[in-house]
Amino acid sequence: MTTFLILLGAAIVAISLWDILLCALGAGQSGAISLAIARFGFKRIRSFGHTRIAHRICGPVTMAWLGGVWIIMVAFGWSLIFFATTRSLETTKGLPAASFGDSLSYAGHLLSTLGGGYATPAGTGWSLISVITGVTGMLVLTLAVSFVFSTTQAAAQGRAVMALAEVFPPGSDEFTGQFLPQLSSYVAQVKSIPFALFYSTARPERRLPRGIYRLWHDDRLTEDQRRALRIILHEFPGLEGVPPEKFDDTLLHWAKRHDLCPQDMTGRA
C-alpha cells in the first residue's frame, strides 16, 4: 500500500504539472485536462443565461475555478506521498502526523510557500522531498500568474478585434488591409491560449466567438475576403483541418461551445 500511494501521488503531481506547463508555456497546445476542467466550469455559468453579470464573470470565474483545481490536484498528490508512511511527518510535539488531514495541511503550507505549519519532516529524505514540494508550489504560482495575465490580454485583444470589424466593415478595402491582419494575430494568440475564448463582455457586439460566426455570414464579404477569412479561422483550436463542405456546421458548433446561450444561436448567430 505504501508503494502504491507514493506512485499514485507522484503520478498525480507529474500529470498535473505537465498539464499546467502545457497551458502556460505550450505554444500551439494546451493541457487536455485543464481544457476539460475549464469547459465544465464554463457550462455551470450558463445557468445565468444572457445576463450582464454572467458575461462579466464567466471568464474570471472559469479561470479561478481552473486555478483552484490545479492547486487541489497538486496538493492532493503530495498529500498522498506524505501520507504513504506513518513516519514521514512529525508534529511539533514529536508525535507522528498520522492522518491524511495532517499530510494535506503540511502539503498545503509548503505549496503556498508559507512553510510546513505544525508538522515537520521526519528525516533527511522527507526533508528533501519537502523542499521539492515547496519548489513545486512556487512553480505553480508563477505559471498561474503568467497564464492568467496572458489569457486576459488575449481576451482584451479579441474585443478590440471585434471593434475593428465595425470600424472597417466587410466589403471595404480596410477590412482586407487592416482587419484581417489583426484577426490573424489574435487567432495566433488564441491558438496558444484557447482559454481566452471563455471570456465574454456585456456588449453583445464585442462577444466572441459568436461575433466571429456572425462575421462569417456577413453578406458584404467579397469572395476574396471570405476565402482569406476561412484560411485565418482554420487556425482556431478545433477548426484545424475542417473540409470546406463541413466548415460552416463545424464553426457553428465551435461557437456554441464557447457561448453562454448556445441554444439561441441560429445559422446567422
The 10s digit of each residue's pLDDT in 137-160 is 899 989 898 899 999 999 999 999
Residue with cell 477569412: 229
Query: Which pLDDT band, with edges at 50, 70 and 90, does 186 fall under?
Result: very high
> Is 233 in contact with 212 (CB distance < 8 Å)?
yes
> Is 239 in contact with 250 (CB distance < 8 Å)?
yes
Residue 89 has φ and ψ, to the nearest 5°, of -130, 150
On the CB side of 226, CA atoms within 13 Å amount to 13
pLDDT of residue 83: 85
pTM of the model: 0.85
pLDDT of residue 87: 73
SS (HEC) of 186-251: HHHHHHHCHHHHHCCCCCHHHCCCHHHHHHHCCCCCCHHHHHHHHHHHCCCCCCCCCCHHHHHHHH
Q: Which three cell numbers stand for residue 132?
A: 521539492
With a CB cutoff of 8 Å and minimum separation 6, the contacts of 78 are 9, 13, 107, 110, 111, 133, 136
pLDDT of residue 94: 58
Q: Which three cell numbers stand for residue 256?
A: 456554441
**What's the CA gap between 263 and 256, in Å, rounded?**
8
When comparing pLDDT for 211 and 124, which is higher? 211
pLDDT of residue 267: 58
Structure confidence by residue, pLDDT tens digits, 23-80? 888 666 678 899 999 999 999 998 888 788 999 999 999 999 999 999 999 999 999 9
**What's the CA gap between 55 and 72, in Å, rounded?**
27
Average pLDDT over every residue of 203-219: 90
**What's the CA gap between 115 and 131, in Å, rounded?**
10
DSSP bridge partners of 90:
96, 120
Alpha helices by DSSP H, listed for 46-199, are: 52-83, 100-111, 124-167, 173-174, 180-192
